Structure 1
Amino acid sequence: MSPLARRSVFVAAFNRTTTAKQHVISKTNGCRNNRCYLLISSSSSSSLPFSMASSFLNSLSSFTTLSSSTSNPRRTLPSATRISLSPSRRRLTIRAAETDANEVKPKAPEKAPVAGGSGFNQILGIKGAKQETDIWKIRVQLTKPVTWPPLIWGVVCGAAASGNFHWTTEDVAKSIACMLMSGPFLTGYTQTINDWYDREIDAINEPYRPIPSGAISENEVITQIWVLLLGGLGLAGILDVWAGHDFPTIFYLALGGSLLSYIYSAPPLKLKQNGWIGNFALGASYISLPWWAGQALFGTLTVDIVVLTLLYSIAGLGIAIVNDFKSVEGDRKMGLQSLPVAFGEETAKWICVGAIDITQLSVAGYLLGAGKPYYAAALLGLIVPQVFFQFKYFLKDPVKYDVKYQASAQPFLILGLLVTALATSH
């Protein structure tokens, strides 16, 4: 008998001996966790020998795999899946064995997720917001307005620490001008130049961002960098003249901060390649520099204030680590030694919360030693909710809960900065 005739007789025997009520092969829901299921419900146990059924189905599986791969070369199917067959009184279950052959990993999304997002969130630079194409909205997005408030608050703390700020029209106007310099101009410059030099990493981690997606041209990005830098430096010079400085303190602070932002992002130094140095530089940029600018605008910088704010910058280092967890894959591929890459994510979580909490406890001890027990107690009271949210969100999953953690805990750290500033002003 020919092979084709034997196959026909075998199939006929299979069909006669198995009275199937339902024969469902699901192309979508039938495969879960790398296992595919074929269920044949029968009114009684099959009289077909199970070894013959298993052999038949394995032959059918191989034939189907070959046909599918030939007709659709883009689809990747397992090539060595064996089928096990087990009898029961009412149901005959045929289960494909689990296989990892030619497993295809999911690709990075080409667009940001838009669930719950909005165009306004995109302008703020919030991750996962709805994507828009208006060039001016994209320009603002590159400056990440969501990162401006810490710098603006730093100016407020510096003005408060000076002890010379008064609620006059002139002082309010000076402070607003200093906030514009620190926030939209120089922070915008920092964020834009960072995105420019991170475009290869973003092509891996967040390919939908403006630069790697091509939503804005290279020339437009470079022009924006220069406009923001020169605008910020020009405004710093105006503030020095307005404050009557003999030495342009604010201008040099702005120039130094701009240089620090450049070497943080750009080769050959690229400070961000080192988790410790890069994150401390980032913390100093967000806490110390705007504080110094605000205090220099209305008073005089002193050595103890410089030391105290640099100490607070260690807490800024911890805050910067929070943002490193979402970029671990890209950082590892690009050779950046962020702390989660260098020490592992579990250890980096504790380094992060330790830097934030121990720094604030040290500042509280400094205030207590300086004869400011009430301010020290207030600062301690603001540390407690931060620790609570660290355990509730950050230590559980720093990637999943990063936004919730920062929104919940950082307001207390920011209030602690103001408490410290008020303490030093008296």
Structure 2
Amino acid sequence: MGSVLHSAASISLSMRSHHCCRLPALGSQSAPSLSRRRWMVKAVESDSNEAKTAVPNKPSEAINGSSFNQLLGIKGAALESNKWKIRLQLTKPVTWPPLVWGVVCGAAASGNFHWSPDDVAKSIVCMIMSGPCLTGYTQTLNDWYDRDIDAINEPYRPIPSGAISENEVITQIWLLLLGGLGLAGLLDVWAGHESPTIFYLALGGSLVSYIYSAPPLKLKQNGWIGNFALGSSYIALPWWAGQSLFGTLTPDIVVLTLLYSIAGLGIAIVNDFKSVEGDRALGLQSLPVAFGPEAAKWICVGAIDITQISIAGYLLGAGKPLYSLALLGLIIPQAFFQFQYFLKDPVKYDVKYQASAQPFLILGLLVTALATSH
């Protein structure tokens, strides 16, 4: 990305390297008058100031970023040279909690979880499989295939900036994938499954993650399909794993969690707003690109709220009014924070919105899980 501003003196700016402005020598065959020389200097200073305001402040965001944000893998991260910290950043630990919580919800929905050392140990291993391993694999894979987009939107990220090599990234992807699949097989043996249910779920989820990010399918190119695939991976799959570990996964739970994944689709849209520039440049039809940011904001909050209201209606119809009321009560603060942050500016307030509203969404998941277990 670059821009060239022409004035009495030519000023060249490069957004990629962010070098200082170079001012060519000013002069002519005849010595200019003092007033003319002053006029030219003022013109150069004016254009230089305009150029500074036109250049996005992305590198300074990284230079002055937070080390805590870097470890979580979120916006505002500091630049880091330590390879292990960079590897952790690529796995985006901030994305692990929903998967870990999904396992908790599945275990609760099974009705067979007990606070015994064995059950607690199994659930922890399932959380590690779902969070650090398979979500870490998904996030690293996605960053690898998004390196061209990130070179436009966030050129200071680890892969486009060259902070980590190609071989190191590919090795990390394989180790996380094989580690997650290995833990899934271990859990099947531990639970005494005749059929390796958890392994199949982990393998299927890993395949969805691959076709979501990688060509030729690259599901994320289509805003609807890609975001639903992402939403189901965050809500349905870990729930299924937790329930299969301690009980039986039933068809009605499969349908219910897939419906709940529509709310996950809404959550996935939140992350698309910060990548509009790169998505549009590379032809990716995210919903903010396809419908425009204003319409996409309402699609996002509608998917989240309408899904939960529908689930509350289902619980009421199933004769569980207290659970239904509890779920409705958890929707109210989400709607408040949507108006407070997200609908005002989805790019500026995306982290604040998710930090404030998402806890109520995942509490609603647990309410639904407990309702289905009784």
TM range (shorter): 0.7 to 0.9
1:424 corresponds to which residue? 372
User: CA offset at residue 111 of structure 1?
Assistant: 5.4
Select 1:319's aligned residue among 267, 279, 302. Answer: 267
Select 2:148's aligned residue among 184, 200, 211. Answer: 200
1:155 corresponds to which residue? 103
Task: Give distance in 1, aligned partners of 2:65 and 2:93.
Answer: 19
1:54-86 per-residue CA deviation (whole Å, 9 max, x = no partner) reads xxxxxxxxxxx64x459xx9559xxxxxxxxxx
For structure 2, the residue ranges without an aligned partner over 5 or more in a row are: 12-20, 25-41
1:117 corresponds to which residue? 66
1:348 corresponds to which residue? 296
Task: Give distance in 1, aligned partners of 2:215 and 2:174.
Answer: 18
User: CA offset at residue 197 of structure 1?
Assistant: 0.1
1:241-279 per-residue CA deviation (whole Å, 9 max, x = no partner) reads 000000000000000000000000000000000000000
Task: Give distance in 2, aligned partners of 1:407 and 1:110.
Answer: 25
Is 2:207 the partner of 1:259?
A: yes
CA contact 1:110–1:208 (8 Å) conserved in 2: yes
Is 2:366 the partner of 1:407?
A: no
Task: Give distance in 2, aligned partners of 1:107 and 1:388.
Answer: 31
> Identity percentage over the alignment?
82
User: CA offset at residue 108 of structure 1?
Assistant: 6.3
Select 2:171's aligned residue among 223, 226, 251. Answer: 223
Task: Give distance in 1, aligned partners of 2:92 and 2:143.
Answer: 10
User: CA offset at residue 107 of structure 1?
Assistant: 5.1
2:78 corresponds to which residue? 130
1:27-426 superposed matches below 5 A? 66=8, 68-69=9-10, 74-75=22-23, 105-106=54-55, 109-110=58-59, 112-115=61-64, 117-118=66-67, 120-426=68-374
CA contact 2:65–2:79 (8 Å) conserved in 1: no
CA contact 1:112–1:208 (8 Å) conserved in 2: no
**Amino acid in structure 1 at the alignment position of 2:296:** A
Task: Give distance in 2, aligned partners of 1:341 and 1:368.
Answer: 37
* TM-score, normalised via structure 1 length: 0.76
2:15 corresponds to which residue? none
Superposition CA RMSD, Å: 2.2
CA contact 1:108–1:205 (8 Å) conserved in 2: no
User: CA offset at residue 113 of structure 1?
Assistant: 3.4
**Amino acid in structure 1 at the alignment position of 2:343:** L
CA contact 2:90–2:143 (8 Å) conserved in 1: yes
Task: Give distance in 1, aligned partners of 2:60 and 2:208.
Answer: 32
Question: How many aligned positions are there?
Answer: 339
Moved over 4 A (4+): 73-76
SS in 1 for 2:58: coil
User: CA offset at residue 240 of structure 1?
Assistant: 0.2
Q: Indicate the structure with greater helix content.
A: 2
For structure 1, the residue ranges without an aligned partner over 5 or more in a row are: 1-33, 35-64, 77-94
* TM-score, normalised via structure 2 length: 0.87
